[in-house]
């Protein structure tokens, strides 16, 4: 297997050199071998691993969740059925955020309707109205 320098890995993965270093520090990619000059030499498959990391992040995984999934993969324990729970947890988090956004949207619509009726909370300096009717909900 050939090894490549950090700049080439970054280009192949579509990230910056700083991102490669950050992922290395976080343990998302294995620490590379070093040349006597100090240059990092990464295995060929490092770019693929970085792209996997980025795609999981784009789906809503936190870096800690990505790291845990990669550890499962590295240990040879990853199966579609066995990893499904990770996606279910992300979906639950997304659904919760969507519910929060829907509540905020309802509040903004109500405040907007108040402003059409001449009761703009900004103009009246009323923070209670600006925070919407669902203030106090937890």
Q: Please write the tens of the pLDDT for every residue from 24-68.
A: 999 999 999 888 888 889 998 999 999 999 999 999 999 999 999
Whole-number percent of the chain with pLDDT over 90: 72
CA angle (3, 7, 8) in 5-degree steps: 50
pLDDT top residue among 128 and 103: 103
Q: Please write the tens of the pLDDT for every residue from 70-79.
A: 999 999 999 9
Residue 46: name the closest of 24, 58, 29 by CA. Answer: 29
Contact residues for 11 (Cβ-Cβ < 8 A; gap 6+): none
Q: Is the predicted pLDDT of residue 119 greater than 90, yes or no?
A: no
Average pLDDT value for the chain:
90
C-alpha to C-alpha distance for 7 and 24, rounded to whole angstroms: 14
Residue tagged 């890995």 (tokens) = 9
Q: Domain residues of the chain, as ranges?
A: 1-59, 91-138
Residue tagged 């829907």 (tokens) = 102
The whole-number average pLDDT for the span 109-134 is 76
* CATH code assigned to 1-59: 1.10.1660.10
């Amino acid at each position: 297997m050939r090894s490549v320098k950090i700049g080439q890995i970054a280009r192949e993965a579509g990230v910056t050199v700083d991102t490669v270093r950050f992922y290395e520090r976080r343990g998302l990619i294995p620490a590379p071998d070093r040349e006597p000059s100090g240059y990092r030499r990464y295995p060929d498959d490092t770019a693929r691993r970085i792209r996997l990391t980025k795609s999981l992040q784009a789906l809503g995984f936190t870096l800690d969740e990505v790291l845990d999934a990669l550890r499962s993969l590295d240990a040879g324990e990853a199966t579609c059925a066995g990893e499904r729970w990770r996606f279910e947890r992300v979906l639950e988090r997304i659904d919760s955020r969507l519910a929060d956004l829907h509540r905020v949207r309802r509040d903004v619509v109500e405040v907007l309707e108040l402003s059409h009726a001449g009761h703009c909370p900004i103009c009246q300096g009323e923070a209670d109205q600006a925070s919407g009717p669902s203030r106090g909900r937890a």
